[in-house]
């Protein structure tokens, strides 16, 4: 937990000393590039927006008083002073810390200043000042007290490639967003001081100085200490929080807490059950449903039933570096058949993953991208754009009087069938006895597990994904098998794979995953219908080699 630095306005008795400092400031030039880097390492940037409040932060290498000049109609006739910024001590030689040989200061100071009693739905101009340097004039808009429309950006996984991140962020201001949502993995290694500037603050420097950003924590934020150091989140400064912006209620969750016994779940339960906004949006790093990439399915035991019961409309995740939008997913049994639209947006700059087609998906593409979402009390419209602002997907949801949203040109997909696909998926991650060649086929071992979501066995037809079929083939064709019953043990099934010769196969590395990737899929037939499941990358294993000998 972080204690924020107190914000100080100089008392009348001390104005003489402050006046000297202020006069020194006033003779300083607006920050040039060199002066700015001397006084401002990061920012200023906006956090914790509201109808009557905004928090402005920046980082400086100097421990001097700071001041924000702000006001309406360009006047900047109000001031807020900070005497004691928060210190972050940097250890360049700390194991797992900063890049070797990179010059970093011994300590830096974070200025955090919360402006209050602001006018709702109003444009303020401001400039930040410290150590005799004042930034250029910037502006921000407070939230409306009861706005009929709100526009926001959603994107994520911006780690590792600052150039791509900057290219994506350069599009944001043209849509005049009220705020930005980030699905996590802001940087590649959250414990490292140097990557926060290169991968997050520099690509966003011309955006978050005027538009507040509200992220969810990702796995690359590591222990979250620097994440919470730099971000002033709504609420009590945990990694989960919630807020209203006109017709939209946003709940941001920490993916690390998935159990109903966690404090986060109690918070989410209270929050969603009392939220009154027409649209309820949840954002977190690991998706609840995700086909390509990691194939994630987070929070099904505790959070998914809660989201149906509390009538959540949209769940936005990241983690897999692709774009996916599901048809509205709705349970066909149970007490709460409320449809939820799930979106994966992880194309903010991290290396892209492979997408997989699925009947539950309305759209999927492996490209760098961002979302623009506009909401009124009765309509929510989303559009996904590439780095060069090309439209790749659009959707529209309508609702009134608390009824479930109707998605234009979308057909609901059974949650039971989608869960069945995730239930089967672990059985499709195969192990090989050897690396297959064109003239030296390899035996493949599938361990078919009993299913947790259904009691009756289901029929599986196991084959190669289209991408893998270019490099490998199943010698005897698709493998047809019935899953074990709920009281049975695992069933081992064998097949034979050869390489097509399009590219030489290898299994280098500690994980021994085949390259090119060998991934299996299965068409599933059960009493409730048909669906499709995918495994993860197959690998060569000693266990499979020993089992093949027997």
Q: Are residues 75 and 121 in the same domain?
A: yes
Give the count of domains, the chain: 3
Residue-range definition of the domain harbouring residue 496:
422-549
Name which of 114-123, 349-358, 453-462 the model is least confident about.
453-462
Which pLDDT belongs to residue 118? 97
- Reported as a pLDDT band with limits 50, 70 and 90, residue 183 is very high
Each residue's pLDDT tens digit, 480-531: 999 998 889 999 999 999 999 999 999 978 889 999 999 999 999 988 789 9
Tell me whether residue 119 is in a domain: yes
Sign of CA dihedral 153, 157, 162, 167: negative
Tell me whether residue 6 is in a domain: no
Q: Are residues 446 and 396 in the same domain?
A: no
Residue 359 sits in a domain whose CATH number is 3.60.21.10
Query: What are 390's two structure tokens?
Result: 């090309």
Name which of 16-20, 191-195, 369-373, 479-483 the model is least confident about.
16-20
Tell me the C-alpha distance between 395 and 339, whole Å: 15
Tell me the C-alpha distance between 417 and 423, whole Å: 10
- Reported as a pLDDT band with limits 50, 70 and 90, residue 13 is very low
User: In DSSP terms, which residues pair with 493 in a beta bridge?
Assistant: 446
Q: Are residues 135 and 225 in the same domain?
A: no
Peptide bond into 44 cis (omega under 30): yes
Which pLDDT belongs to residue 106? 75
Q: Are residues 121 and 163 in the same domain?
A: no
Q: Are residues 407 and 467 in the same domain?
A: no
Tell me whether residue 416 is in a domain: no
Q: Are residues 439 and 404 in the same domain?
A: no
Largest CA distance in the chain: 90
The domain boundary, picked from 141, 174, 196, lies at 141
Identify which has the larger pLDDT, 438 or 145. 438
Burial state string for 145-171 with b = 16 or more CB within 10 A and e = fewer than 16: eebeebbbbbbbbbbbbbebbbbbbeb
Which pLDDT belongs to residue 32? 52
Tell me whether residue 356 is in a domain: yes
The closest alpha carbon to 2, from 88, 130, 97, 98, belongs to 88
Query: What are 61's two structure tokens?
Result: 């290498």
Which pLDDT belongs to residue 510? 84
Which pLDDT belongs to residue 37? 65
Q: Are residues 452 and 511 in the same domain?
A: yes
Which pLDDT belongs to residue 11? 41
Judged against a pLDDT cut of 80, whether residue 152 lies above it is answered with yes
Judged against a pLDDT cut of 70, whether residue 26 lies above it is answered with no
- Reported as a pLDDT band with limits 50, 70 and 90, residue 101 is very low
Judged against a pLDDT cut of 80, whether residue 255 lies above it is answered with yes
Tell me the C-alpha distance between 357 and 204, whole Å: 33
Tell me the C-alpha distance between 496 and 472, whole Å: 10
- Reported as a pLDDT band with limits 50, 70 and 90, residue 105 is low
pTM of the complete model beyond 0.75: yes
Label residue 15 exposed, middle or buried (CB < 10 Å: 0-12, 13-18, 19+).
exposed
Tell me whether residue 7 is in a domain: no
Judged against a pLDDT cut of 90, whether residue 36 lies above it is answered with no
Each residue's pLDDT tens digit, 287-342: 999 999 999 999 999 999 999 999 999 999 999 999 999 999 999 888 889 999 99
Q: Are residues 99 and 180 in the same domain?
A: no
Judged against a pLDDT cut of 70, whether residue 39 lies above it is answered with yes
Identify which has the larger pLDDT, 26 or 104. 104
Q: Are residues 289 and 385 in the same domain?
A: yes
Tell me what percent of the residues of the chain surpass a pLDDT of 70: 91
Segment 158-184 shows an average pLDDT of 97
Q: Are residues 43 and 167 in the same domain?
A: no
Average pLDDT, the chain: 90
Which pLDDT belongs to residue 110? 97
Q: Are residues 136 and 239 in the same domain?
A: no
Phi/psi of residue 331, nearest 5 degrees: -70, 135
User: In DSSP terms, which residues pair with 407 in a beta bridge?
Assistant: 397
Q: Are residues 72 and 121 in the same domain?
A: yes
Name which of 11-20, 45-54, 160-169, 333-342 the model is least confident about.
11-20
Residue 70 sits in a domain whose CATH number is 2.60.40.10
The domain boundary, picked from 411, 438, 472, lies at 411
The domain boundary, picked from 141, 160, 184, lies at 141
Tell me whether residue 54 is in a domain: yes
Tell me whether residue 3 is in a domain: no
Peptide bond into 516 cis (omega under 30): yes
- Reported as a pLDDT band with limits 50, 70 and 90, residue 34 is low
Tell me whether residue 249 is in a domain: yes
Tell me the C-alpha distance between 70 and 81, whole Å: 11
Each residue's pLDDT tens digit, 466-475: 999 999 999 9
């Amino acid at each position: 937990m972080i204690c924020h630095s107190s914000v100080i306005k100089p008392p009348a008795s001390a104005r003489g000393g402050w006046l000297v400092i202020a006069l020194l400031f006033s003779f300083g030039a607006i920050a040039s590039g060199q002066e700015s880097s001397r006084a401002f390492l990061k920012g200023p940037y906006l956090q914790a927006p509201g109808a009557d409040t905004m928090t402005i932060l920046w980082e400086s290498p100097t421990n001097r008083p700071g001041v924000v000049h702000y006001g309406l109609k360009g006047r900047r006739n109000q001031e807020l002073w900070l005497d004691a910024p928060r210190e972050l001590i940097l250890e360049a030689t700390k194991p797992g810390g900063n890049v070797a040989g990179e010059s970093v200061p011994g300590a830096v100071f974070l200025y955090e200043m919360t402006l209050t009693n602001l006018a709702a739905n109003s444009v303020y101009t401001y400039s930040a000042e410290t150590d005799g340097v004042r930034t250029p004039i910037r502006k921000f808009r407070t939230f409306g007290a009861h706005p009929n429309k709100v526009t926001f950006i959603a994107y994520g996984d911006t780690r590792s490639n600052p150039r791509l991140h900057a290219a994506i962020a350069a599009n944001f201001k043209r849509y005049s967003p009220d705020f930005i949502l980030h699905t996590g993995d802001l940087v590649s290694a959250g414990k490292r001081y140097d990557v926060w500037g290169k991968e997050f603050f520099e690509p966003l420097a011309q955006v978050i100085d005027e538009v507040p950003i509200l992220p969810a924590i990702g796995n690359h934020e590591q222990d979250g200490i620097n994440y919470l150091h730099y971000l002033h989140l709504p609420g009590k400064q945990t990694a989960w929080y919630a807020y209203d912006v006109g017709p939209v209620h946003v709940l941001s969750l920490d993916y690390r807490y998935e159990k109903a016994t966690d404090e986060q779940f109690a918070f989410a339960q209270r929050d969603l059950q009392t939220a009154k906004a027409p649209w309820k949006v949840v954002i977190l790093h690991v998706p609840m449903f995700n086909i390509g990439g990691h194939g994630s399915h987070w929070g099904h035991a505790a959070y998914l039933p809660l989201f149906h019961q509390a009538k959540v409309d949209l769940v936005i995740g990241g983690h897999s570096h692709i774009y996916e939008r599901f048809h509205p997913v709705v349970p066909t049994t149970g007490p709460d058949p409320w449809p939820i639209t799930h979106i994966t947006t992880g194309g903010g700059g991290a290396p892209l993953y492979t997408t997989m087609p699925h009947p539950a998906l309305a759209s999927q593409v492996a490209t760098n991208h961002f979302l623009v979402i506009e909401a009124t009390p009765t309509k929510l419209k989303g559009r996904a754009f590439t780095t060069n602002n090309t439209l790749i997907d659009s959707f529209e949801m309508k609702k009134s009087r608390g009824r479930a949203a109707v998605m234009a040109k979308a057909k609901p997909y059974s949650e039971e069938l989608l869960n069945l696909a995730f239930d089967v998926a672990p059985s499709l991650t195969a192990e090989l006895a050897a690396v297959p060649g064109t003239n030296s086929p390899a035996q493949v071992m599938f361990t078919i597990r009993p299913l947790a979501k259904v009691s009756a066995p289901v029929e599986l037809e196991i084959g190669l994904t289209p991408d893998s079929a270019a490099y490998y083939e199943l010698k005897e064709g698709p493998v047809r098998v019935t899953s074990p019953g709920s009281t049975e043990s695992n069933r081992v099934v064998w097949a034979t794979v050869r390489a097509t010769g399009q590219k030489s196969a290898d299994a280098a590395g500690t994980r021994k995953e085949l390259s090119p990737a060998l991934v299996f899929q299965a068409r599933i037939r059960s009493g409730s219908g048909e669906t499709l499941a995918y495994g993860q990358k197959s690998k060569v294993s000693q266990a499979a080699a020993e089992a093949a000998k027997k």
